[in-house]
Structure 1
Amino acid sequence: MTRAGALLLALQGVSPYLSVSECDDICPALRDTVDLFISGSHEAYIEEVEKYNQNSEVLETSDTLKSCVDEKLTAEDKQDALSALNKIYSSSLC
């Protein structure tokens, strides 16, 4: 998988959180969730999703996406995605 593909897949995994109402908490919540999505355990990621959304379709999609990440992304893909996201996290906009 390409680096861009890995980042795109990672960002798709956090889409359930884009409805978080407190703007000041969006970046920390996304950071924690994306880190779990990319490199955390399957169970920890799903628990994190459940904190923000109990919709069964969102949970099923999150489960499917996490399984895909765990099966398809190499360690290098995951590291590349995390490196790119760290640049975003360090932005003054976040």
Structure 2
Amino acid sequence: MKLAGAVVILGAALLLLTSGGDCGICPAIKEDVHLFLNGTSEEYVEYVIQYKDDPEILKNTEKIKQCVDSTLMEEDKAHANAFIMKASLLC
């Protein structure tokens, strides 16, 4: 797996650890991960702007999203999605 794929999975694991006592992923985090892996840069930035309307953060958000889109293959994204769903069910 590419470095970017590992970073996505690590980020997802961290989100799981901070998502609450039952290890379930709250709907906002599920939507965030879904848009991060499967949405367009514009969709993801529009989602993030709901939580943090800071021009620097939004600029970096778009750069990270574009990097993921240009680096991860569909197979990597599918593996990351599967990992997130399995991890949330195992707790």
Q: Structure 1 residues 90, 42: closer, same or farther in 2, change over 3 A?
A: same
Tell me by how many angstroms 1:27 deviates: 2.1
Kept in 2, the 8 Å contact 1:31–1:89? The answer is no
Task: Tell whether 2:73 aligns with 1:74.
Answer: yes
Identity %: 31
Gaps of 5+ in 1: none
Structure 1 equivalent of residue 38 of structure 2: 39
User: The residue matched to 2:47 in structure 1 has which SS?
Assistant: helix
User: The residue matched to 2:63 in structure 1 has which SS?
Assistant: helix
Gaps of 5+ in 2: none
Structure 2 equivalent of residue 58 of structure 1: 57
Tell me by how many angstroms 1:91 deviates: 4.6
Cα distance in structure 1, aligned partners of 2:38 and 2:60: 18
Cα distance in structure 2, aligned partners of 1:69 and 1:81: 12
Tell me by how many angstroms 1:43 deviates: 1.2
Q: Deviations over 1:45-67 (max 9, x none)?
A: 11100011101221111101100
Q: TM-score normalised to the size of structure 1?
A: 0.71
